[in-house]
Amino acid sequence: MKLWQRRLLGILAIGGGAIGATQCFVAMTSASRVIEWLFVLLAFAFYGWGVWCGTRLIEAQPGAEQSNRRFWLVQVPTISTPVVGYFLTCGFHLTVKLEFAPFKLGANFLLGSTFNYSLLQPEAPIYIGMNVFAFGIAGWLIHTGHKEKAVALSSQS
C-alpha cells in the first residue's frame, strides 16, 4: 500500500473516530435507559477502535490492513425493522437502501460519522441497505492484501 493511501485511510478512521466519540458523549447526555447506554457505549468502543485502526495504518504496523478491513466491513450493512435497527459509519458514508413499505430505493451520504440504533420500535420503517463507500474500502483492502501476499510469495521463490 502506498504511503498516501495509508495516510488518507488512517486520517479518515482517526478523524471519523474522534467525531463519532464526540457524538457518543452527546448521546450519553440524553440516554435514560440502560439499553440506550449500552448501545452508546458500544458505538463509543467502535469509534475508539477506529482511532486505533487508523493510527496503526498510518504507522504501517504489521496487520494494520487486516484490522482496518474488519473496521470498514462493520460499517457496510444497514438495517431497519420494527424489532431492531442498525446504522454505523465513520468518516464518510455513501449508503443505498431498499425500503419495503412503501417500496422505494434511497441513498444518502455524509462526510462525518453517525450511528443510529433502534430496538422494539413498531413505527420503524423496514429497509436493508449497504454503505457502498465502506464496502469499496474493505474490498480495496482485501485486494491490496492479496496482491501484497502474492508479491511476497513470488519474491521468496
Domain count, the chain: 1
**The model's pTM:** 0.85
Distances (CA, A) of 96 to 43, 107, 109, 128, 129: 21, 4, 9, 9, 5
How far is it, in rounded angstroms, from Cα 154 to Cα 157? 5
- pLDDT tens digit string along 39-84? 889 999 999 999 999 999 999 999 899 999 999 999 999 999 999 9
Q: What are the strands, taking DSSP E only, across 8-91?
A: 77-80, 84-89
pLDDT beneath 50, residues of the chain: none
The residue behind cell 431492531 is 84
Q: What are the strands, taking DSSP E only, across the chain?
A: 77-80, 84-89, 92-100, 103-111, 114-119, 127-131
Strand (E) or helix (H) holding 100: strand 92-100
The residue behind cell 498510518 is 58
Q: What is the pLDDT of residue 155?
A: 66
What residues make up the domain containing 60? 3-156
Q: What is the pLDDT of residue 56?
A: 95
Q: What is the pLDDT of residue 156?
A: 67
**Which backbone phi and psi does 95 adopt, to 5 degrees?**
-115, 135
Grid cell in block for residue 103: 417500496
Q: What is the pLDDT of residue 117?
A: 83
